[in-house]
Copies of this chain bind each other. A is one copy, B any other.
Amino acid sequence: MADTLTASALTLKDIARQAGVSLATVDRVLHNRPGVRPDTVRRVREAIERNSFQPHVAAAELARGRARRFAFVMPSGPNPFMQQIQDYLGEMSAWLSARRLGVETVATDVFDPSVLAASLEGLSDDYDGIAVVALDHPGVRAAIDDLVDAGAKVVTLVSDVPSSRRHHYVGIDNIAAGRAAGALVGRLVGQQSGKVAIVAGSQGLRDHAERIFGFNQVMASEFPGLSVLPVLEGRDEDGRSEQVLARLLGRHADIVGLYNVGAGTQGVARALSDAGRDKQVVFVGHDVTALTRRLLLQGVMDAAISQNPGHEARAAVRVLLALARGEPILREQEKIRIDIVMRDNLP
């Protein structure tokens, strides 16, 4: 009837007694301090295993004395998505201070590898953990590895550097996101055949390139009736996005689908509306902002692929904290999902 799940009340003292050693030795083993014979280490470890003992985090945290500090290295521009992440960090302030955690934001130009690498340098002196929106570049990778070597915990946020030795990546799989976008455009277009347009910020950006790759994959294999036009580059700016798309719409009367890979959504929507084709073209974009929310409600946009910025902010903090404490990470909890947002499940 009632199935008990947990509640150990053991302490380090119990472990010491069971292993037949003193508290000091258990402490040495627990913190990988030198001066313990391998055989003794084994005995202690076994006692811990046998009882599936977990040190009381509250006691450990309290005894530690020193507060933990984390740095968030983020783009300095007015990117609304990044702004949302920072806003959600702000909402955590009570939670953070109740745990004596300090979180500081470092603004930098994440698109310039040397500037970014310079910003990262030396952060390990002041911080126990660093979350960074990283550009995938050898210089940045080296900077991240340096931080790791210096003992800091490093998490990449939103954009990954897989070749680095960062401890964790908090963000979505962009290829899968592109696939989801492709499937949505294809399915929502339905039986008709025609052309599909893609507007991206730049194909040089790793996340954009991956999304386009996934999108094309699905289009090619599953929607042979739809032909994808060459990618337009709008540099994530409204004006330029509107301009290039307007020209394309003028040249092709049979565009039935549109995928906006990055920002510049305002411009894309305007080009569609001005051409009077916002109701006929299936329009899928990214992220839930005040703007995309409005466009979804108006029916101009049909779906938005989204990653939850609040979740990313909190997951980054939790992962850094777990890493610093040596606790296991709840992978399932920290995984960022690809959300499909349509008018009726707007968060």
Given A187-B188, A337-B345, residue A5 in contact with residue B98 (CB < 8 A): no
Report the minimal beta-carbon distance from A310 to chain B, rounded to whole angstroms.
Answer: 5
Q: Are A340 and B337 in contact (CB under 8 A)?
A: no
**B56 and A62 contact, CB distance less than 8 A:** yes
A235 within 8 A of B: no
Question: Which residues of chain B have C-beta atoms less than 8 A from A191's C-beta?
Answer: 190-191
Mark interface residues in A1-37 (1 if CB within 8 Å of B CB, else 0). 1111111110000000000000000000000000000
Cβ of B107 and Cβ of A3 under 8 Å apart? yes
- Which chain B positions have C-beta within 8 A of A343? 183
Contact A344 B182 (CB under 8 A): yes
Chain A interface size, as a band, is 35 or more
Q: Which of B4, B310, B344 is close to A104, meaning CB atoms less than 8 Å apart?
A: B4
In the complex, how many angstroms separate the beta carbon of A166 from the nearest chain B beta carbon? 21
Instruction: Tell me which residues from 175 to 205 in chain A have a Cβ below 8 Å from any Cβ of chain B.
Output: 176-177, 179-180, 182-184, 187-188, 190-191
A57→B61 CA distance, assembly (Å):
10
18 contacts between A and B (CB under 8 A): A2-B71, A5-B96, A5-B102, A7-B67, A52-B94, A52-B97, A54-B98, A56-B99, A57-B98, A58-B58, A58-B100, A91-B330, A94-B328, A95-B328, A176-B344, A187-B187, A214-B344, A308-B337
Residues of A with Cβ closer than 8 Å to B?
1-9, 52, 54-59, 61-62, 67, 69, 71, 88-107, 176-177, 179-180, 182-184, 187-188, 190-191, 214, 218, 302, 308, 310-311, 314, 327-328, 330, 332-333, 335, 337-345, 347
